[in-house]
Chains A and B, each alone.
Chain A
Amino acid sequence: MTKQPMKDPWLQLRRFTSARIALGRAGDSLPTDALLDFELAQARARDAVHEVLKADLLLERAKEAGFSALKVHSAASDRSEYLRRPDRGRMLDEPSKLQLQAMQADERPDIAFVIADGLSALAAERHAFPLLELMPAKLPGWNIGPVVVAEQARVALGDEIGGCLRAAFVVVLIGERPGMSSPDSLGIYLTAQPRSGRTDAERNCISNVRPEGLNYEMAAKKLAYLLMSARKLGTTGVLLKDHSDLLALEDEGLRAQKAIS
């Protein structure tokens, strides 16, 4: 094996990114230590996919934080069915539907928040609350509806939930598919006038919310910006462009990132 020595500054480029750079080469190929690093990370990501959401804990936490909260389940009975049948993950099971329909408030909420396991329960458990808690202060005057904790859920389950609650917007905080360096990345999906049958082009997405990615404060600012723009525009989706002042936000993000590394 001839391992190419990686001299500075090549090796030092790793300071700028968590991407797998400057790994060296064994011939043309990956050196053994880098190969095993990769395999360990993949093993962890595979494990994250099969982790079960601690829904009752989230429910308690929502109530402690002063939100009204309830738990629903999609029509996918377990993880195996969830992976093979995304259509069932986009529909409520019958008891959940009845429960939601029964609790229609007199006043239509401006927003319903949904915390969903998606493909990483870990992400929902770790990041949904720290983000959620920042939102009321950023949305003065908005009527925030119940927080719905959803098990075996896909993004579009939020459409049916938001529709049942007659919310003006639904915001789904959902575990993204685990990557090797991020088994716990949270995605935020924003949809106006939610109801079953909305398409992905009618949503806006904020991705990779976690301390090492887009941090809570930046994500909350972006979400508030999008919500306020969407309210003015009367819609979400491809027509709604993100012109928020990202340069300032990004500097903040970079600082946060360096503080962690």
Chain B
Amino acid sequence: MSSFTQSCGGRNYLFDDLKTLLAKASPARSGDSLAGIAAESEEERIAARMALVELPLSYFLSETLVPYETDEVTRLIIDTHDSIAFQQISHLTVGDLRNWLLSPEADTETLAKAAPGIMPEMAAAVSKLMRNQDLILVAQKCHVVTRFRNTIGLPGRLSVRLQPNHPTDDVTGIGASMLEGLLFGCGDAVIGINPATDSLSIVVRLLKMIDDFRLRYEVPTQSCVLTHVTNTIEAVEQGAPVDLVFQSIAGTERANASFGVNLGLLREAQDAALSLHRGTVGNNVMYFETGQGSALSANAHHGLDQQTCEARAYGVARAFRPLLVNTVVGFIGPEYLYNGKQIIRAGLEDHFCGKLLGLPMGCDICYTNHAEADQDDMDTLLTLLVVAGVHFIMGVPGADDIMLNYQSTSFHDSLYARRILRLRRAPEFEEWLARMGVTDERGELRQIASGNQLMLHASKMLEGN
């Protein structure tokens, strides 16, 4: 391990090691200040970037940020690093990598080939040298396609996770929000419920409700109840209709332990879901959620900045060929991302790093009421991310999640995003919506008449209650 020095404006800056250099080079955010690792002045931040520019990418292979011996995430990253894919960029410095990523030479195909050779820490490092427009430009060139019952991530497409949460997991209440989402053409990424409790019987009941509906109307999408992975394994054992395995993950072994998971357990859960053979067009069965600050929040960041920790979480995700990776960017609160500006920056960084590593990135564009942010900031991030080619966003009724108590993006917001960039839905889902009379031949929402099949379903719900 060696230290780095950088002279800047007649001053010499010393950075003790690689993780310190990365932390000091990071754009400002409250979480790194909370951890006491942020740059102490704006000049120090730029001095750190100047040193980072000169750093050869190969250096990341020689200095691990969290010890190999004590951290299984480090072992996973090192042991699965593809040295052949790395060859074409192995001679570059971090500064060169930025230039290369922006060049026409790094086209979609080249970037896809390089992805397995790019370590999460390299992606994090280069992102610190990039402006927001760089993060958008490069991410837009990265294409990743995943499949389960439909195809997600095709160019010119945007999918939506339908999030019909209810504060007491009331099945009819969830059903009402789900129906509304479908009538807005949302739900092609997944119909995903955050349950209010860990109760297995509720989880199974919700899974059955969505699955019955899906089978009855032949909906080409997947469902998920976002419960702990051990619960999902139990649900599979009980014969419940589990499509996707959900889990929150982080970038260090100890942070994952604070979530009650490890790589072996994730593998076990993936195997359980694969054993059900429920996918029709593909078998990407994992749904991961991440977010900057989770490792620090578990006091398991090992002195790493939160954005580098986040990129390492993507290192975990890519070992499991997920269908969806969702960075829940503003959920964690102002102690990690203080305001709209920091949330917007983090959303773009996460999307860029994930895509560069070859992941199907979506974003829960969101904030809580104790952060200095509002719906205008979400409009900005939504617009930037759809330009960058984000795979999916959340569809929450009126953008107000009445169970998790935060604000995200709404069904209406998804229509806005489609309108401004002419983005279409996943092809299988698009066909289904037309067949159901929800959309016309151009993909526009129709006026829903009371004779519509889904409206008849709503009528039956009303009669039954």
Contacts and interface: CB of A to CB of B under 8 A. Distances in A.
Contact of A85 (B170, B179, B335): B335
Contacts of A9: 450, 455, 458-459, 461-462
B175 interface: yes
A158 interface: no
A214 B170 CA distance: 11
A17 B177 contact: yes
A205 B173 CA distance: 22
B170 A19 contact: no
A21 B397 contact: yes
B402 A182 contact: yes
Given A201-B258, A242-B199, A16 B176 contact: yes
A241 B197 CA distance: 10
Contacts of B183: 10
A42 interface: yes
Contacts of A119: 370
B175 A16 contact: yes
B419 interface: yes
A200 interface: yes
B196 A46 contact: no
B258 A200 contact: yes
A199 B402 contact: no
B68 interface: no
A16 to B, nearest CB: 4
A28 interface: yes
A221 interface: no
A253 B230 CA distance: 27
B450 A7 contact: yes
Nearest to B171: A250
A247 B201 contact: yes
Interface stretch (B272-280, B348-356, B385-393, B409-417): B409-417
B197 A238 contact: no
B444 to A, nearest CB: 9
B398 A38 contact: yes
A184 to B, nearest CB: 11
Contacts of A85: 34, 335
B5 interface: no
B173 A244 contact: no
A199 B257 contact: yes
Interface residues of A, number: 67
Interface in A119-166: 119
Contacts of B322: none
Contacts of A253: 168, 170
Interface string A38-58: 100110011011000000000
A16 B397 CA distance: 13
B376 to A, nearest CB: 11
B372 to A, nearest CB: 10
A179 B403 CA distance: 8
Q: How large is the interface on B (under 10, 10 to 19, 20 to 34, 35 or more residues)?
A: 35 or more
Contacts of B170: 16-17, 250, 253-254, 257
Contacts of A48: 369
A237 B335 contact: no
B228 to A, nearest CB: 6
Interface in B354-378: 368-370, 374-375
A18 interface: yes
Contacts of A199: 257-258, 298
Contacts of A28: 412, 415-416, 418-419
Contact of B167 (A13, A23, A214, A222): A214
Nearest to A241: B200
B130 interface: no
A48 B197 CA distance: 25
Contacts of B176: 13-17, 19, 21
Contacts of A232: none
A17 B164 CA distance: 10
Contacts of A178: 369-370, 405
Interface string B187-204: 000000000111111100
A65 interface: no
Given A17-B173, A84-B30, A84-B334, A237 B400 contact: no
B398 A42 contact: no
A198 to B, nearest CB: 10
Interface in A57-106: 83-87
A16 B167 CA distance: 12
Contacts of B164: 19
A62 B416 CA distance: 52
Contacts of A244: 199
Contact of B173 (A16, A45, A243): A16
Contacts of A21: 176-177, 180, 397-398
B333 interface: yes
A179 B406 contact: yes
B404 interface: yes
Given A49-B369, A201-B257, A177 B406 contact: yes
B141 interface: no
Nearest to B459: A9
Contacts of B418: 28
Contacts of B260: 201, 237-238
Contact of A19 (B173, B415, B450): B173
Given A9-B450, A207-B196, A238-B260, 19 more contacts: A7-B450, A16-B175, A16-B465, A17-B166, A19-B398, A21-B180, A30-B412, A83-B335, A86-B297, A177-B368, A179-B405, A180-B405, A204-B198, A205-B198, A213-B196, A214-B167, A246-B197, A250-B202, A253-B168
Interface of B: 30, 34, 164-170, 172-177, 179-180, 183, 196-202, 228, 230-231, 234, 257-260, 297-298, 333-335, 338, 368-370, 374-375, 397-407, 410, 412, 415-416, 418-419, 447-448, 450, 455, 458-459, 461-462, 465
23 contacts: A8-B450, A10-B183, A10-B448, A12-B462, A19-B400, A20-B400, A21-B177, A29-B412, A38-B399, A41-B400, A85-B34, A177-B369, A178-B369, A178-B405, A179-B369, A185-B405, A200-B258, A207-B196, A208-B196, A243-B199, A247-B201, A254-B168, A254-B170
Can you list the 8 inter-chain pairs with the closest CB atoms, starting with the nearest?
A20-B398, A179-B405, A28-B415, A17-B173, A238-B260, A201-B260, A16-B176, A45-B369
